[in-house]
Amino acid sequence: QSDNGSENLGVFDRQLEADGIPHLFIYPRCPQINTFIERYNRTIQEECLDYHLDELINLKQGNQLLVDWNIYYNTKRRHHSLGLKSPIDYLIEQGGMSHKSLTYTLHRLFVQIPLY
């Protein structure tokens, strides 16, 4: 599900179609429908992008910055909604297991192992 911005058309839209994934859009001018994504976008903007504008000029550097920040966000950054734990620490504490098996990026392959 994405907003109605033009950045979600073109190559992205064609890839979804090629993979047989329907592209769902939120209602126009209703960001509250996408609250979790909107909050994530605000967080990444305020905590990462605003401090690294010079790295975003280079596509390879910018992508690596985002890969590294996402790893930090999920493994080190404390979240108020999780009792000031990182998502990975919260998951381990709850005895849960991630349902993801592989995460691909342009620069690395991360294998996510089940947590028991």
SS3 content of the chain, % helix, strand, coil (to 5): 55, 10, 35
Distance CA 34, CA 5 (A): 13
Distance CA 43, CA 33 (A): 17
**Ordered DSSP codes for 19-57:** TT----BPPTT-GGGGHHHHHHHHHHHHHTGGG-GGGGG
Single-letter amino acid code for the residue at 100: K
Distance CA 17, CA 23 (A): 8
Domain boundaries, given as residue ranges, for the chain: 1-42, 48-116
The answer, yes or no, to whether residue 113 has pLDDT greater than 70, is: no
Strand-pairing partners, residue 109, are 104
State the pTM of this model: 0.66
pLDDT of 115: 44
**pLDDT tens sequence across 38-73:** 889 899 999 999 999 998 899 889 999 999 999 999
Percentage of the residues of the chain whose pLDDT score is greater than 90: 34
CB distance 98 to 114 below 8 Å: yes
**pLDDT tens sequence across 1-16:** 777 777 767 888 888 8
